[in-house]
Structures are given as C-alpha cells and as structure tokens.
C-alpha cells in the first residue's frame, strides 16, 4: 500500500531524509518513530504529496506519487503535525467543504459526515465553530477530515500530542478501530502508544532507518526486560553480590548506594530483592522499576548499529 524507495530529501544543503526504503502492506498499522528532527514529518509530507523528494520513489495505493499525485491523494488521509483547520467554520461546514474538495457527491457527503462525526465522537460539536473547540476536539476534527473520503491509507503525524490522557486513550482506540479497515502509518513519541496500536515499527534516526521490526522482536532485541533501580544503605560490593544471587536477576551495576538491576525477560523479582536486602540487615531506601523510554531504545539501537559497522 505504501512503498518508499531510496527516498532522499534535502532542504537546501540540509539532509533531512537519507536514502530510506520501506514498505507498508495493506491492513498494517505501522509506527513511525524517531527523535525530533529525525525526518518523520518530512517523509510523511512526501508520502502525502505535499512536498517533492530530492530523489527516490514513492507509491501509495498503487499510484506513483510523483507522476500521479492527484489520484494518489484521493486514497490518502493525512493528519498533519500542525493541523490546518479553518477556525471560523463549524465542524459540519468544514467537513462538507473538504469532502466536496475531494470529489465526493452530495448524498455521500451527508452520510459520510454523519459517519465520521460518530466515529470521532463529535456529535455534540457538529455545529460549533472549530475555533471554539478545545485542542483535543480539534485533533478529532483533524482525524475526521482525514477519513471523510474513506481513504485506504492513513498517514497520522503525532495525532495524540498535547491532549489529555482520556482523549489520548480515545484517540488510540480510534486508531486501532481505523486500522481494521485502513493501512496506517503513525508517528508518535509515545512508545506505549505504539505497543498498543502498531503491529510493526520503523525507527528513523538522523534521516536513516535505524530499525524496522515487529513490536515483539524489537522488545526482545532491546532486552524486553524490566530494570529496577534501588538505593541501599550497606556495603556496595556485598549488596551487589547478594542481588546477583536472586533468581531472575541478570545483571547488577552500582554507583555508591545506587543499584541498577536488569531482570531476565518476564521476571519481576522486586519482592525477593526487598526480602534479601532486609534479611541481610541492610536498609532499603528506595526501589522503583524503570520503564524503557523511547530514548533508551534509541540509544541502544543506534549504538548497536554503530558497533556493527
Ligand atoms: N521547511 C523546512 N526547511 C528547512 N529545513 C527543514 C524544514 N522542515 C524540516 N526541516 C529540517 O529537516 C529535518 C527533519 O525534520 P522533520 O520535521 O522531518 O523531523 P521530525 O522527525 O518530524 O521531528 P519532530 O519529532 O520534531 O516532529 C530537521 O533537521 C529540520 O530542521
Ligand atoms: Mg514531525
């Protein structure tokens, strides 16, 4: 459904996307991850026909984006990073305007507005000016306009940035629902969002693809394991030695009284750790499990990639 081949984009002399290639198959929901300035939005703009690449080829829904951009765009729904909404239009008139722009006929527009307003839970706001909506609801209008023409492919650039946790959860659910009927490429900085919605991820870093895999494989590749950080008042070496004896503990590192424990996949030895420390007569000052952040994963992936070169 999406095919990117040797895509390169320069802004003047700045290289934003460096010869990347990837495919997204029909029905897949793929997470497009990367730190700021990695090239995600640039790639998405090219995929949606808003910008020309410097080099390379892009096909969406079977159309060559460079030679058949108009046709391709009818099959794409795009949620842009900065959604260009018309604030002095009501939700209904805005959706109607865009649907007409995309060539839907009158009757179909009416049903589709009803459909998308239902899907995005905008019923109460359909006749409200977009300028008067809260940010989260504007995001929903952004999603609604992206799906009004029933595109086969959805390109969503950070659809859950800056909205509250309840709405994030709702948007996620929505993306999951949409994924049943659409092919989705989703960019986000929130890793749990990806594990909840995406079957596969592509990680882009400094304009290049750093990793591309299923969530399961990526999780096991980066360890897939829990890390626990604790602070113990006691003799460091002995404490570390004792921690290493606990079942499920794979590696222990420490600095002064701070310890980091890496656990085997699927293991959570926090109870045993607490017990061991207390039984040894030391004081456990704090204990917390550390979630792996996107940054951790990046660090790991990019350093591993460099050592492989
Ligand atoms: N219109 C532009 N003119 C010049 N440089 C640009 C332009 N848009 C983006 N860039 C540069 O291209 C690089 C990639 O930017 P891009 O917006 O694609 O990153 P991103 O992965 O979407 O980042 P973010 O997570 O911050 O949204 C950055 O170095 C950025 O400064
Ligand atoms: Mg971006």
pLDDT one-digit tens code per residue, 216-244 = 677 666 655 678 999 999 999 999 999 99
Is the Cβ atom of 37 under 6 angstroms away from ligand 1? yes
**What is the spatial distance between Cα 174 and Cα 221, in angstroms, rounded to a whole number?**
29
Q: Are residues 145 and 274 in the same domain?
A: no
**What is the spatial distance between Cα 182 and Cα 204, in angstroms, rounded to a whole number?**
23
Token output for 150: 């029933």
In a domain, 302, yes or no: no
By residue range, what is the domain housing residue 250? Answer: 227-291
Q: Are residues 113 and 132 in the same domain?
A: yes
Q: Are residues 114 and 151 in the same domain?
A: yes
pTM as predicted = 0.77
Residue whose CB lies within 8 A of the most ligand 1 atoms, among 11, 17, 33, for a mutation test: 11
* pLDDT tens digits, 17-27: 999 999 999 98
Q: Are residues 6 and 65 in the same domain?
A: yes
Residue-level pLDDT at 249: 93
Is the Cβ atom of 42 under 6 angstroms away from ligand 1? yes
pLDDT category of residue 303 using cuts at 50, 70 and 90: low
* 139, HSE (Cβ side, Cα atoms, 13 Å): 20
Residue-level pLDDT at 294: 54
Q: How many angstroms separate the alpha carbon of residue 172 from the centre of ligand 1?
A: 25
Domain boundary among 164, 198, 221: 221
- CATH value at residue 264: 3.30.70.100
Q: How many angstroms separate the alpha carbon of residue 160 from the centre of ligand 1?
A: 19
Q: Are residues 207 and 237 in the same domain?
A: no
In a domain, 19, yes or no: yes
Q: Are residues 9 and 35 in the same domain?
A: yes
Q: Are residues 166 and 281 in the same domain?
A: no
Token output for 16: 């934003």
Q: Are residues 113 and 185 in the same domain?
A: yes
The candidate with the shortest Cα–Cα distance to 183, out of 151, 209, 211, 158, is 151
Q: How many angstroms separate the alpha carbon of residue 219 from the centre of ligand 2?
A: 24
* pLDDT tens digits, 182-209: 899 999 877 777 877 888 999 998 999 9
Question: How many independent structural domains does the chain possess?
Answer: 2
* pLDDT tens digits, 142-159: 989 999 999 999 999 998
- CATH value at residue 56: 3.40.50.300
DSSP 82-147: S----TTSBHHHHHHHHHHHTT--HHHHHHHHHHHHHHTT-GGGTTSBGGGS-HHHHHHHHHHHHH
Is the Cβ atom of 39 under 6 angstroms away from ligand 1? yes
Q: Are residues 265 and 142 in the same domain?
A: no
Q: Which of 37-41, 172-176, 290-294 has the highest mean pLDDT?
A: 37-41
């Amino acid at each position: 459904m999406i095919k990117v081949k040797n895509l390169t984009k320069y802004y003047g002399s700045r290289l934003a996307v460096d010869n990347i290639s990837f495919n997204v198959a029909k029905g897949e929901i793929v997470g497009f991850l990367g730190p700021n300035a990695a090239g995600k939005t640039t790639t998405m703009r090219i995929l949606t026909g808003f910008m020309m690449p410097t080099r390379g080829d892009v096909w969406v829904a079977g159309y060559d984006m460079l030679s058949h951009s108009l046709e391709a765009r009818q099959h794409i729904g795009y949620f842009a990073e900065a959604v260009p909404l018309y604030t002095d239009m009501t939700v209904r008139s805005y959706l109607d305007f865009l649907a007409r722009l995309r060539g839907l006929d009158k009757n179909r527009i009416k049903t589709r507005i009803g459909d998308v307003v239902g899907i995005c839970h905008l019923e109460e706001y359909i006749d409200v000016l977009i300028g008067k909506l809260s940010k989260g609801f504007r995001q929903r209008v952004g999603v609604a306009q992206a799906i009004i023409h029933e595109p086969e492919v959805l390109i969503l650039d950070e659809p859950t940035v800056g909205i509250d946790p309840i709405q994030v959860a709702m948007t996620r659910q929505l993306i999951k629902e949409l994924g049943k009927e659409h092919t989705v490429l989703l960019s986000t900085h929130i890793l749990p969002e990806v594990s909840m919605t995406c079957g596969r991820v592509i990680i882009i870093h400094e304009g290049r693809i750093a990793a591309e895999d299923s969530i399961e494989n990526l999780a096991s590749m980066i360890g897939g394991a829990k890390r626990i950080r604790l602070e113990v008042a006691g003799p460091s070496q002995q404490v570390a030695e004792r921690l290493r004896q606990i079942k499920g503990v794979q590696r222990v590192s420490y600095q002064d009284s701070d310890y980091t424990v890496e656990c085997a996949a699927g293991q959570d030895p926090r109870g045993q750790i607490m017990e061991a420390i207390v039984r040894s007569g030391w004081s456990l000052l704090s204990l917390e499990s550390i979630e792996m952040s996107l940054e951790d994963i990046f660090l790991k992936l990019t350093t591993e990639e460099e050592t492989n070169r």
